[in-house]
Amino acid sequence: MLAALLVGSSPTPVRSDEATPYARVAPILQKHCIGCHGPAKSKGDLRLDKLDPDLIKGKDGDHWREVLDRLNVGDMPPAKEPAMKKEDRELLTNWLVQERRKAALAKNPPTHFRRLTRREYERTLQDLLGLPIEFGNRLPEDGKSKNGFRNDGDALRMSPLQYETYLQLADEALDAAIVTGPAPAVHRFRLSGFEKPEKFEITTVPKPANRPGETFEYAMPKGKAFRIFNSSPPQNNKMAWDGTLPPSAIRRHGEAATQLPEFRIAVGFQYAYRKGETRIRVRAARVEPPDGADATRVPIVTVGFGSTNFHGVELITIGEPQTVDHKDYRTYEFMVRMENVSTPNLGPLNDKNAAILSVWNSAKVVKGETAPPRLKVEWVEFENPYFETWPPTTHTSVLFPNKDLQEPAYAREVIERFATRAYRGPVTAAELNRLMKHWEAARKDSDTLEGSLKETLAVVLCSPRFLALPTNSANTKEKLTDHELASRLSYFLWSTMPDKALAQLADEGKLRDPAVRSAQIRRMIKDAKAGQFVEQFPDQWLELDRLQRVVVNKERYPGIDEPLLAAMRLETIHFFGEVLREDMSIFQFLASDFTCVNDRLAAHYGIAGVEGTKFRKVKLDKEHHRGGVLTHASVLTGNSDGIDGHPIKRGMWLLKNLLDETPPPPPPNVPELNRDSPKLKNLTIPQALAAHRDNTACVGCHRKIDPWGLAFEEYDAVGNWQRAGIGAELRKKRTSNPIDAMVELPSGAKVDGLSGLRDELVRARADDFRRAMLRKVMAYALGRSLTLRDTDAADALVPALRERGDKLIALVELIAGSEPFQSK
């Protein structure tokens, strides 16, 4: 009851402007309570005359809570005592609620300073320097806060190890971006002659006319610098090797590595390319399919880079695999930063410790296919480091070409420009002077201007002004500065620093204009960078990481593998992206007539006609029994125990994430429901749950949880619909009990299964769902656990959201316009 009051579902808010003073309350307590709970008697060990009425500094909060509970339940004062007047009871409860709110506000003040998450740090550094290097993997993993969000400042801790890693990464990043001296020599070569081992050839590619950097001359008897790992004629395979590539896939290898695809062009290098941008170009065509071949089958050119090890290879796919539907040779380009792939160990290189490049056809492998779609490759070109100009743009965008500035003036300009971007807002004169002092000291010890500037820019990259948000704390007023606002928007939707357009609007002070802000939000959502919000928010809101923790029983559910589990997670993410980008109603999350699937997930759901690994929107018909996140395999599987659906987990999940009514944790020492216990063996799951909750002190909460979860019963542990098809067959092997998904919700409403539940949610809990969504998005947008004030602000947006047709972008705009979002 109290919890309900606090989370705001109570219809009688205590937000009147006139606060109730204790002086008005004391006489009521004296009249009705002190007789039994005072100097004369102290029933239940409670003396109200001794309770500290200051709930902020006092220590009696729990006792006052008890008083409020009793008043609400209505069993105090007891029936045999004189009844409390209605106004008095109201006054007393009002005072209690008001003081408890004050205490909650005082004890949980809003925080706004938080460090960047690992992901935000990486993306900010990438954008700042124009370097697509995955720096974040080197940092310790971020924690997850109580509310499940990983950008919550409460969970983002700092440690010496973490700080040292920042110091180290700053040096490495600047070393990669800023160069000294003339262009280095470049490894440029072409591999060709794949049709026969003896024709295989490696030739140096001459330096293009307008490009800097000399090409290495390779004095190579070929076996020396390169080792060929091309497929040789497979001994036990009827398909002879003719240099063309039928579909093939990287194979899992039970020994800490993968194996190369069976059909591939692959070369190991006796040089390791450890750093820098690399360009790989592949000249490829499809082999003309024989008459009668399946016209929908097309080869896909795919490039992997990595290293060999004792057992196999560590290989990652680089760039986007490309469909090759032409018979003439065309050139495809793939880019990779060497820092992002597994490189060989330091030390002498050999076959088992070499860099490796592989090209293959990643079209789906179909067993027994007579005419698979084949890829042919004329040549593969390699270039590392790859740069168009020297110095590269990563260098000139920081160390801009200097026309006529003296060294200190130039340094000052470089540092100011860089720090302004890195700090996501103006740098004060005092700050700049300090940085200049640092540079002057560094310059004395450094042989080069570049070296000294790198030292000072590294300081910028390790400052709390860069590593944390918001950064312009010089302002102690409540409102965020324009630049802080730009940052908050940018980290909310992009998980990175503001781009030029946002920064400029902040400079001009225009972001406070709702129309301007709204246009920016729409622009930002259209931008590919919004993929960060689209991925991270639903992942954390709907706890999709549960999928990783469930061990699906392989005997019960054959064919559930990593790619399918990954597809489950991606469905929810793509679905969220669709709702956002198409600006649909948030009620699509509860019920929709479409979803997003790839081939694997479509097969799992029994949706026909979906080819390929790309996710796409598909229309759902009634017989699919899908629609909305409740029916997503990610949610159903994540909230199972790997053998059966788990009604308690599912019920908890729904209450917590869709209604924001998290039930309290179970009391300590409550045993788990043991499904193997003989007592429960012959019971259906609803019966077993009933037995469980009736036998223990759990009934109060579980009455509120279990019905929600039991309504999911038509879906098994991996999200199969159990009333027909494969789901029904699998179920037969587990149990002969009938499916019972008919439940009575705490409100008294009776619903049958998820479709009934969804209807009921939309009908009776629409505002609760709006409120929950607003709070979840608010928490993510602010990067903090919501304070009472934040929650109030989110809740107050419910009518506005309703008015705007519950559109998701409208919700984002409302949050961005809210007082907490605009304030510290």
Partner 1 sequence: MPQPSWLLDRRTVLRGAGIALALPWLESMAHAAPAATKTPKRFCAFFFGNGVNLPSPKHADHQDWHWFPHADGADYKLTKSLEMLAPHRADMTILGGLSHATSRQLVGHNTVDVWLTGADIRENLNNSASIDQVIARHQGDKTRVPSLVLSSHGGVGTKSRSTTIAFDTQGRAIPAESNPRRVFERLFEQPSDGDLAARKKALTAGKRRVDFLLEDAKSLRTKLGTPDQQRLDEFLQSLDEVEGRVVRAQDWLGKALPQVDRGKINLDVSPKGPTDYIRTMYDLIALAFETDTTRSAAYQVTAEDGVGICDKFPTILDFGRKVGHHGLSHDDKDPTHGWGKYDRYLAEQFAYFLARLAKVREGEGRLLDNTVALFGSGTSTTHNARNYPLVLAGGKNLGLKHGRFIKQKAERPLGDLFLTLLHRFDVPAKTFADNTGEFREILAS
Binding footprint of partner 1 on the chain (CB under 8 A): 109-115, 138, 153, 157-165, 167-168, 185, 187, 216-219, 254-257, 270-274, 307, 309-311, 314, 342, 344-350, 352-353, 434, 438, 441-442, 445, 455, 458-459, 462-465, 467-468, 473-474, 476, 824
* Cα 221 → chain centroid: 49
Nearer to partner 1 among residue 189 and residue 589 (C-beta): 189
Cα torsion 156, 162, 167, 169: sign: negative
Alpha-carbon radius of gyration of the chain: 32
H and E: helices and strands count for the chain = 30, 18
d(C-alpha 344, C-alpha 314), whole Å: 10
Amino acid at 580: L
Nearer to partner 1 among residue 107 and residue 196 (C-beta): 107
Nearer to partner 1 among residue 155 and residue 521 (C-beta): 155
Shortest separation between residue 410's beta carbon and partner 1, angstroms:
21
Nearer to partner 1 among residue 229 and residue 615 (C-beta): 229
Shortest separation between residue 365's beta carbon and partner 1, angstroms:
21
Nearer to partner 1 among residue 475 and residue 662 (C-beta): 475
**Of residues 202, 190, 269, 200, the one with CA closest to residue 231:** 200
Shortest separation between residue 136's beta carbon and partner 1, angstroms:
12
Q: Enumerate residues 6+ apart whose C-beta is below 8 A from 260.
A: 229, 250, 251, 266, 312, 313, 315, 356, 358
**Of residues 95, 87, 73, the one with CA closest to residue 26:** 95
Shortest separation between residue 550's beta carbon and partner 1, angstroms:
17
Shortest separation between residue 316's beta carbon and partner 1, angstroms:
10
Nearer to partner 1 among residue 257 and residue 743 (C-beta): 257
Q: For residue 684, give the 3-state DSSP assignment.
A: coil
Nearer to partner 1 among residue 311 and residue 522 (C-beta): 311
Q: How many CA atoms lie within 13 A of 615 on its CB side?
A: 20
Check: CB of residue 506 under 8 Å from CB of residue 486: yes
Nearer to partner 1 among residue 442 and residue 636 (C-beta): 442
Residue with tokens 């938080």: 114
Shortest separation between residue 751's beta carbon and partner 1, angstroms:
42
Nearer to partner 1 among residue 402 and residue 473 (C-beta): 473
Q: How many residues are listed for the chain in this entry?
A: 824
Shortest separation between residue 544's beta carbon and partner 1, angstroms:
19
Which residues, in sequence order, are bridge partners of residue 331? 283
The 3-class SS string of 465-520 reads HHHEECCCCCCCCCECCHHHHHHHHHHHHCCCCCCHHHHHHHHCCCCCCHHHHHHH
Check: CB of residue 186 under 8 Å from CB of residue 384: yes
Q: 577: burial class by Cβ within 10 Å (0-12, 13-18, 19+)?
A: buried
Q: 207: burial class by Cβ within 10 Å (0-12, 13-18, 19+)?
A: middle
Which residues, in sequence order, are bridge partners of residue 356? 268, 306
Nearer to partner 1 among residue 175 and residue 582 (C-beta): 175
Give alpha helix (H) positions in 348-481: 393-396, 407-422, 429-445, 449-462, 464-467
Shortest separation between residue 252's beta carbon and partner 1, angstroms:
9
Determine which helix (DSSP H) or strand (DSSP E) holds 705, and give its type and residue range.
helix 699-710
Nearer to partner 1 among residue 20 and residue 463 (C-beta): 463
Residue with tokens 């004329």: 378
Nearer to partner 1 among residue 282 and residue 427 (C-beta): 427
Shortest separation between residue 432's beta carbon and partner 1, angstroms:
13
Shortest separation between residue 667's beta carbon and partner 1, angstroms:
25
What angle separates helix 808-817 from helix 482-493, to the nearest 10 degrees? Answer: 150
**Of residues 659, 593, 602, the one with CA closest to residue 626:** 593
Shortest separation between residue 370's beta carbon and partner 1, angstroms:
35
Shortest separation between residue 103's beta carbon and partner 1, angstroms:
16
> Tokens at residue 218, please?
């390779």
Nearer to partner 1 among residue 188 and residue 702 (C-beta): 188
Shortest separation between residue 68's beta carbon and partner 1, angstroms:
27
> Tokens at residue 91, please?
């006054």
The CA–CA distances, whole Å, from 225 to 139, 222, 304, 343 equal 35, 6, 19, 16
Cα torsion 344, 347, 348, 352: sign: negative
Shortest separation between residue 539's beta carbon and partner 1, angstroms:
20
> Tokens at residue 298, please?
């097309």
Shortest separation between residue 475's beta carbon and partner 1, angstroms:
8
- Cis before residue 678, ω within 30 degrees of 0? no
d(C-alpha 624, C-alpha 729), whole Å: 16
**Of residues 425, 443, 524, 549, the one with CA closest to residue 481:** 425
Buried residues in 83-116 as b, exposed as e (16+ CB within 10 A): ebeeebbebbbbbbbbbbbebbeeeeebebebbb
Nearer to partner 1 among residue 210 and residue 310 (C-beta): 310
Nearer to partner 1 among residue 235 and residue 476 (C-beta): 476
Nearer to partner 1 among residue 273 and residue 605 (C-beta): 273
Long-range contacts of 201-206 (CB under 8 A, 24+ apart): 202/226, 205/381, 205/383
Shortest separation between residue 121's beta carbon and partner 1, angstroms:
14
Shortest separation between residue 151's beta carbon and partner 1, angstroms:
14
Shortest separation between residue 283's beta carbon and partner 1, angstroms:
25
Nearer to partner 1 among residue 62 and residue 562 (C-beta): 562
Nearer to partner 1 among residue 25 and residue 177 (C-beta): 177
